[in-house]
A and B are shown apart, each in its own frame.
Chain A
Amino acid sequence: MSQLILWKEDLQQLFHRLQAAYRVIGPLAADGVVGLAELENLSSLPIGHRDRQGPGVYRLENVGDADIFSFVVGPDSVKRFLHPPVQHPYTFRKSRKRLHIASPRAAPQEKPLAFFALRPCDVAALKLLDKVFLESPLKDRRYQAVRDGVFLLAVNCLHPAETCFCHAMQTGPEVRDGFDLSLTELDAGFLVEIGSEKGKEILNGVPTAEATARDAAEKAAKLEASRSRMKRSVPLRALPQVLYNHLEHPRWAETAARCLGCGNCTQVCPTCFCTTAHDHVSLACLAQKEAQWCGSRVRLWDSCFSLNFARVHGGNFRTSRKARYRHWMLHKLAYWIDQFGTPGCVGCGRCITWCPVGIDVTEELEAIAASRNVP
C-alpha cells in the first residue's frame, strides 16, 4: 500500500473533492459536545478542541491545540445515520374488506454519505453493524440503502480520551481495514493511506507527495505514544468463557445497585442495534368514514436496560437490574463472540463516559474475571 503525504493546507482540497460527490458527515461541536453532522466546510471542525472524558464526565475545551484532530468521539456514531433512532417501516390502512400495507422505499439519496474523520473504533463498529444488518439471513433494506456507496475517511487516534480502550479491543488506535482513505496527523502534514479504489480516485487532483521513511517513523512513534496512553485492559483471550463461568458473581448485584437502568450506555454504543416497534394509529384516522383504521409502524431505538424490553406474553424474563446489566455485558462480550466470532464491543469508551453514574465496563469485567474461583 503506497503512503503519501498531504500537507495540512491541502486538506481543504480533499474535503472539496469529497463534497462534490458526497454528503459529508463529520465532527461538529454544538452544545458543548462533538456531535456528528453534515459539514459545510472544513472550518466548522472543532479544531484545537480537546474532549476531556472520564467515567460519567465529558467536557469539551478549546485548548488551541496545534493538531486539527485533537478530539476523539462524542456521544454520536454512524449508527444514527445508518440505523436511525426513529423509523417508519410501513403504513397500513384497513377498510371493511381488506388490509392494505405499503412499505415505501427509502427516498433515493441525492448523494451517498461520506464519513469524514471517522475513528478506528467507529470503522470497526460499522463492520459489526454490517454483520447484523447485511450478513444475516434477513437483510435490512433501509440500512443497505444508506450503506451502499458510503465513503469512509478514517483518522487514526493520537489523542485518545481517558475512557478509550480500542487498543485493548484491537480495533485501534490505527485503522487496519474497511476504510477508503486513512489519515495520520503528523507535525507537518497527514500521512495518507489508500484503502480502496474509491479512496484512490478521490485523491485525483489533490496535491500529495511520496511519504518518506521518516514520515513512517513519525507515524509509528505517535501511534505508539497513543497506545501507551490507553490504560484500560480487557482479558480478550478469556472471553467468553470467563463470563459464562461467573453468572452468579456477587459483583453483578453490586453494579446493579449503582446502575440507573437508564439505557444511556446502549444508546451511545455504536453497535447496540435493538429496537422496539408499535403501531401508531391517529384519532383522526379512526374517525374517517372510508377506513376502519390506518396508521404506521414505528420502530424506535430500544434498550435491554428498560424493564419492558424482556417482557413477553406471560411474563418478563429479566425483572432485576442485575439481570439486565449482566445480559448487556454478556451480549457484548460473550454471545456476540458465539454468534459472530468477534466481541460486540469496539473499545470506544462511550458507555463509560455517558453513564450518568460512571459505571466502567472494563472495570466490571476485570472484577469478574479476576476472581476465577468465585462462582
Chain B
Amino acid sequence: MRKARLGVFKFTSCDGCQLSLLNLEEELLAVVDLFDVAYFREATDKPLRGTFDLALVEGSVSTERQKEEILNIRDRARYLIAMGACATSGGLQALRNWASLSAYKARVYPSPENVHALSTSTPVSDHVYVDYELWGCPVTRNALSEVLVSFILEKKPALRGYSVCMECKRHGIPCLLVSQGAPCLGPVTRAGCEALCPALGKPCYGCFGPKDDANVESLLSRFRLMGLRSEECRALLDKMNTYAYRKVQGENRS
C-alpha cells in the first residue's frame, strides 16, 4: 500500500507550528513511517510537486501572491488542515486589519514601497474550504498527533471546542477569575492547552482563540465591573486571535 503524501506549507507566520510538528520527537519516526513527507521546507528540500493526501497549512494569507498559492494548495490536497493561530484566525499580524497598513509600513521600513502586503491578514478559511482547524499559538503536539492518527484511521479527530475552564476544573486548578479577580479569557477560549497558563497561576490570554459559541460580550461586561477600562479589555483580546475574537463580538452584537 502506498504511503499517504503529506505536505506542510507555510504562509505568513513564525514557523512555530511547523516546529511543533518536528517536536513530536519520539513520534516523529512514526510520522515518517506512516507518511511520505512530500513537501516540508523546515525538514526537507523536496520541491513542490504533485498532489497531497493531507496538507497542513501554517500562517495567514497576507500578500497577493499568497491568495493564489492557497488556491493552488487546496487544488492539490485531499484534506487541508489549518494549523495555528495565524492559519485559523489571521494571527497577530491581523492587528493591521483595523489600522492603516501604509502608516505601519512607513514607520517600520526605510523603503515601504518594496513591501507588497495586503491591507488585511486573514485566516485560510476566508479563502478556501478547510477540513479541520487546529487552534493554538503554537498548536500542540497532542492535536497534531490526533489529526495525523485520525487521517490514517479515517475517523473524525477528537478536537476540543469547549472552554479552557473545563481543563482547569479537570486538573483541579482554582479559578483565577473567581478566586483572585484576574481577567482570565478562559471562559471564552477554546481548550486544548490543558490549561497551561492557569496551572502556572497566570490568566489565560486566549492563544487558542474563541471557543464554540463564545460569549465575549458577557465576559467583557464582567471585566468592566471588576474595574477594567474598555481599552484594557480590547488589549486583552488584541493578540494572536484578534480577528477571530472580533468576529465573535460582531456575532454577539447582531
Contacts and interface: CB of A to CB of B under 8 A. Distances in A.
A286 to B, nearest CB: 6
A259 B215 contact: yes
A260 B204 CA distance: 15
A275 to B, nearest CB: 11
A99 to B, nearest CB: 13
Interface in A12-35: 30-33, 35
A282 B34 CA distance: 12
Query: How big is chain A's contact interface, by range?
Result: 35 or more
Contact of B178 (A56, A76, A257, A293): A56
A258 interface: yes
Contacts of B29: 287
Contacts of B177: 56, 356
Contacts of A287: 29-30, 33-34
A283 B161 contact: no
Interface string A45-64: 00000000000111110000
A321 interface: yes
Nearest to A292: B153
Given A263-B162, A263-B166, A293 B218 contact: no
B178 A354 contact: yes
Interface residues of B, number: 46
Interface stretch (A103-111, A171-179, A300-308): A300-308
B169 A85 contact: yes
B179 A264 contact: no
A225 interface: no
A261 interface: yes
Contacts of B158: 278-280
A281 interface: yes
A268 interface: yes
A68 interface: no
Contacts of A353: 178
Given A32-B179, A56-B178, A354-B178, A301 B166 contact: yes
Interface string B133-150: 000000000000110110
Contacts of A80: 172
Contact of B26 (A284, A303, A354): A284
A80 B169 CA distance: 10
B212 interface: yes
A75 interface: yes
Contact of B174 (A31, A85, A280): A31
A209 interface: no
A308 B166 CA distance: 13
B158 to A, nearest CB: 4
21 contacts: A31-B201, A35-B172, A35-B174, A57-B178, A58-B175, A59-B179, A75-B174, A85-B169, A260-B187, A264-B169, A283-B145, A284-B26, A287-B29, A300-B170, A306-B166, A307-B161, A353-B178, A356-B184, A356-B222, A357-B222, A358-B222
Given A85-B169, A259-B215, A287-B33, 14 more contacts: A31-B201, A56-B222, A58-B179, A60-B179, A76-B172, A85-B171, A257-B215, A262-B165, A278-B158, A282-B30, A306-B161, A321-B213, A356-B177, A356-B178
